[in-house]
Structure 1
Amino acid sequence: MNIVVLIKQVPDMDKVKFDSEKGTIDRKSAGTEINPFDLNALETAIQIKEKTDGKVTVLSMGPPSAEDALREAIARGADEGFLISDKYFGGADTKATSHTLAAGIKKIGDFHLIIAGEKTVDGDTGQVGAETAGYLNIPHVSYVSRIEEVGLENLQVVSEISSGSYLKEMRLPGLITVTKNINTPRLPAFKRKMMARKAEIKKLTLEDLQEFLSVEEVGLKGSPTWVNKIEIPSVSTREGKIFRDDIMKATDTLVELFKEIKVVEV
């Protein structure tokens, strides 16, 4: 079974800073890592590979530095990596990103299953997986928390939706997005780290994908949505009062407060 895993290099969200004037994330303000949900997607692919004697290809769209994320994915068990990178892809929203990823998958070709994380921590939309499936005209299942059965023609999974758990079967080729509950990602082995350092990361530019999309469909030109403004909420602090001697005053204050917030009725 040939599996494609979509991964994204994201900033460390605990340390990253925001440019509120431009409405963007200052990606240079913090280190980068593989999107945590994508690590679950990668682990899912590797486990299926081990059961089916398959192949795992990781695909990412991003700047040249995203090559580091692809090498880490290879160190964790992937077989090869492709990086979609071109100045024309900058500023893409989820629609343009999905269209570009779908074009990259078409260029790679010969796949049975595509796996993506539920969402990315820097965007939090959860849209790219389903949109990519739409551009590829293949079925998809979101919020997968367990793989039940895997075959070359069908896949049976458990999907966790807010109203409950659903057992779903999907005909392949298809795409799934997985939650963090599906597994615990393995750490890269030292031997594979050494191998990943020498691995060839294949590059795909707009010229390489022109058979499947045009310059008007990628980057800012192909993005119908954009961030107008980012507002960082101020940190709220708790207000407190101390009553040391006047217990009756403290009691009256609490009663009035409870009335105000409707904890008690008058």
Structure 2
Amino acid sequence: MKPAMETAVEENTEQSQEKKGCFECCIKCLGGVPYASLVATILCFSGVALFCGCGHVALTGTVSILEQHFSTNTSDHALLSEVIQLMQYVIYGIASFFFLYGIILLAEGFYTTSAVKELHGEFKTTACGRCISGMFVFLTYVLGVAWLGVFGFSAVPVFMFYNIWSTCEVIKSLQTNMTASGDQICVDVRQYGIIPWNAVPGRACGPILENICNTNEFYMSYHLFIVACAGAGATVIALLIYMMATTYNYAVLKFKSREDCCTKF
């Protein structure tokens, strides 16, 4: 029988080896996590959620403001209502697509990062894997350019609402200082092209405009459009991170495939 001292030393050695093995396994797993893709996915989900959720409610509030204050005739804004309804359906599609696309990009990030870290052996050099990575690189670039356009488009209602709000602030300052009357200060939304020029009344002046700015619909729509624009900007940043991550992973996979090809001869 072994002495108690030797038995204790062997047990301690086995425990230390097990701990070392678990530690190395954890380090290896952490090394395969695509941190850039993970951050981009969280940012993309957050940005798309803000853009789609806030944009949907803000569009509904905009229609309500136009119907109540700027276009009392239903036929004048019938086309605009149909366009906004179509945009709301498009928002549903964008939310669904990017929820799925974000998950796929995260999975692709896990695959390519693990392949670069050589966690799957020869699987990293398959032509199918490189083709899929290249496809995602191209698709992400296209979506990034498209979201730049979405970001610019989402800034248009923010600009329009800001002009209306700033005009109301001018009217308030005139009334506070009693320097002049604000009755002649007007906002004509027909100049933005969202309703036709024959829409009645088409514009609001003085106290009427100030009352519009004090309504809950205007306040909520204005701030929701700002948040939606910020969400679109966050999505653009997320896609830029995706671009860099997928391009880097694809380049490394391409380099490793050539390296493996050369070492076979």
* Alignment TM-score > 0.5, same fold: no
Give the number of the structure with larger relative contact order, counting CA–CA contacts within 8 Å between residues 6 or more apart.
Answer: 2
Q: TM-score, normalised by structure 2?
A: 0.26
Which protein has the bigger strand share?
A: 1
Q: TM-score, normalised by structure 1?
A: 0.25
